[in-house]
Amino acid sequence: MAGDQKGVVHTLSDGGVTGTHPDVETRPLLVAPATGSEFNTALLGLIPVACWKVEDTRFAFASSFVTPDLAKEIQALADLRKAHSAPDPATRSPLFPPLSVFGHADPVGTDDTNKALSGRRATAIYAVLISKAEPDTAVGLWKQIAATENWGVNQRQTMQRSTGLPDGTPDSDLFKAYMQALNPADFQLTKQDFLAQGADAKGKGDFQGCSEFNPALIFSKKANDDFEKSKDKTARNAANSLNRRVMVLLFRTGSKIDPAKWPCPRATESVAGCKKRFWSDGETRRSKRLPDKDRKFDDTKDTFACRFYQRLLTNSPCEALSTIVKIRLFDPQARPLPFAPCLITEQGQKPRPDRASGAPPSPPGTAPGSPPGSSSAGSKDDAIITFRVQRLPATVNVRWSRPKAGEGPKSPLPQVFADKENEENGYKYEFDMNVTIDIPEADSQAASPPRLKNLGYVQFPNDADNVRTFQNDSKARFGDIVEDGTLNPPTIEAIKTTHANCDPVLKPGSQIVVKR
C-alpha cells in the first residue's frame, strides 16, 4: 500500500482513510546580513504531513448528521495525530500537528447550495472533535446545522440509541452526549489544536467547505448520460459518493496561520472567496467530461478547480480513489446471515474481526417463522461486510459463523487465537473461504468459474459438474437453462446475474432449520 509519490495509507475502513503525506524537501534558507534596523523573518511553508478523510458513508444523505460508526475513524485520527507528534524542544512535552477541516460536496446541485452543505459537514466534524473540551461551542454549532437541515425524529432516535438517553432529553444534552461519545476515551481536542487556533470566531482557517469545486472523480459523458436518463438516481448518487468527503489535514507541528491571510472563505460564506483561488482554467478542470472515460484526480491531477487546495493535496494518499468492497455472507444452503461474526484477512494484513450488517437473530420463540441463525426475509443490504481497499485484491479470506441465538450488539465476537500452525482449530469460525474479488468482468467466459466459486459451486473437482449443479439449481429461475454442464451463453448470463445481485438460489437442505 505504500507509495513514494503518494505517501503511505495507515488505515482504510469503510468510513475513512488515514495516511501520511510524502516527505517534502525543505529548501535551505538563504539569509542575508541585516542591519540594526532590519530583521530576517524566516517562515516555513505550510506543509500538510498527514491526512484523515471521512467518507460520505459516515453522513446521512444530503445531511451533515454523522453516524455512530464515525467513532472508528476518530480512533484512527487519534492514532495518526500521536504518530506525527514531536516533543517540544523546550518543555519536552509532545507537540501535535494542528488540523484544518475541508468539506466537499458532489457536483449535483448548485455551487452555492453545495458550498453551504460542504461547510456544514466540515463544521459538524469540527464540532465533534472539540466537543469534549468545548461542549458549549460544539453544541452551538450543531444546533445551527440541525435548524438549517431540519433534523428530526431519525437523528434523535439514532442519538438516543447510541447514548441510551431517554425521550424528551433536551437537544443540548443529547447533542453533547452523542458528540462526546464519538471520541475515544483518551482523546480530546481544543480550538487551539487547529491551524488558526480558533482566532476567528467563525472558524476561518480551522474549518471550511469547498463546495463541489474539487471533485475526485468526474463521470464520462456516456456514464453521465446513462445516469441522467435513469429516473432513479440511486446509482448516480452512489457513484458520486467518492466526491462527498471531509478531508482533515494535519500540518507540521508548530504551524499556525493568521485567519486574515487564509485564502479560504468561512464555512458560512459565499463561493466568491473560493473562485478567486481557482486555476485560470478552473471551471474546465472541474467540469469537463471525456466521451467514455471517467476523469480521476488520482490519475491526471487536473480535476480540482482550487489551486490552493491542489497544492496541499496533490500527493495525498487520502485523495487517491479507493474501492469499497462489499461481501455478502451466506450459509451453505445459500441463506443470508445478517449479524454474522466474521474475520476478514486481506493479503499481508492482520485478520480483522467484524460483523455483517443487519439485525441480530431474534431469540427463540419471539419471532415465529424466522428461526435464529437464519434469515428468510430481510433486506438486500443485510448480511454484508464492507471495507475499503486502495487496490483491488485478487481474493480476500473471510471466516464466518452463523450468529448464535440471543446474540445482540454487545455480544463479543468469537475469540481469535494466534495459532498459526493450526488455524482451522484456532479460529473456530464455521466457514472459511477465499472470496474472489478481482473478477475479469470483460471476459464473461473466464469470469464464470470464479463467480461459481463465490456462489459455493465447488464440490466437484471438475468444472462441468459444478456448472451442471448450478444449472440444476437455477433452471426454475432462469427458464432458458439446459442442464448440460457447459458454459453456454444463457448459463453464463445466469451466473453473472446471480453473482452480481448476490442472490443465490437456495440449495438442498434449506428447508431444515439449523440451530446455533
Partner 1 sequence: MTNGGVVLRPAVPPPVRIRQNINNLPTNDPIVVFYGRAIEAMKAKPISDPLSWRYQAAIHDYPFPDGTLQQRQIIPGSQNRDPFASNSDSLPADRGTFWRQCQHGTWFFLPWHRIYLHHFEKIVMDQVALLGGPKNWALPYWDWKGPEGVGRLPTALRDPKRGGLASLFVKERDDDANNGNVFADPDVEVDINFNCLKPSTFMGNGQFGGPAVRRHGGLGPPEPPIPPALNGAGVLEGTPHGAMHVAVGRPPVGWMRSFVKAPLDPIFWLHHCNIDRLWEVWIQRKGTNQNPDDKAWLDASFPFHDRTRGNGDMTPRQVLNTRKAPLSYEYDEATDPLGGA
User: Given the rule CB under 8 A, which residues bind partner 1?
Assistant: 217, 238-239, 242, 294, 296, 298, 321-334, 384, 390-392, 398, 400, 404-405, 412, 414-415, 417, 419, 421-422, 424-426, 428, 430-433, 435-441, 454-456, 458-459, 499-500, 502-504, 507-509, 512-516
Can you read off the three cell numbers belonging to residue 252?
A: 507540521
Q: Which is nearer to partner 1, 123 or 474 (CB)?
A: 474
Q: Which is nearer to partner 1, 84 or 402 (CB)?
A: 402
Q: Nearest distance from residue 385's CB to partner 1, in Å?
A: 9
For residue 260, give the 3-state DSSP assignment: helix
Phi, psi for residue 253 in degrees, rounded to 5: -55, 140
Q: Nearest distance from residue 327's CB to partner 1, in Å?
A: 5
Q: Which is nearer to partner 1, 82 or 233 (CB)?
A: 233
Rounded to whole angstroms, how far apart are CA atoms 452 and 499?
8
Q: Nearest distance from residue 121's CB to partner 1, in Å?
A: 21
Q: How does 462-481 read in b/e, with b if 16+ C-beta sit within 10 Å? A: ebeebbbbbbebbeeebeeb
Can you tell me which residue has the cell 495518526? Answer: 80
Task: Give, for 99, the enclosing helix (H) or strand (E).
Answer: strand 99-104
Q: Which is nearer to partner 1, 87 or 440 (CB)?
A: 440
Contact 426, 388 (CB under 8 A): no
Rounded to whole angstroms, how far apart are CA atoms 340 and 79?
28
310: DSSP letter: H
Q: Which is nearer to partner 1, 132 or 388 (CB)?
A: 388
Q: Nearest distance from residue 286's CB to partner 1, in Å?
A: 17
Q: Nearest distance from residue 433's CB to partner 1, in Å?
A: 5
Q: How does 292-324 read in b/e, with b if 16+ C-beta sit within 10 Å? A: eebbbbbeeebbbbbebbbebbebbbbbbebee
Q: Which is nearer to partner 1, 3 or 273 (CB)?
A: 3
Rounded to whole angstroms, how far apart are CA atoms 246 and 229?
29
Number of alpha carbons in the 13 Å side-chain half-sphere of residue 38: 6
Contact 404, 373 (CB under 8 A): yes
Q: Nearest distance from residue 125's CB to partner 1, in Å?
A: 23
Q: Which is nearer to partner 1, 193 or 331 (CB)?
A: 331
Q: Nearest distance from residue 252's CB to partner 1, in Å?
A: 30
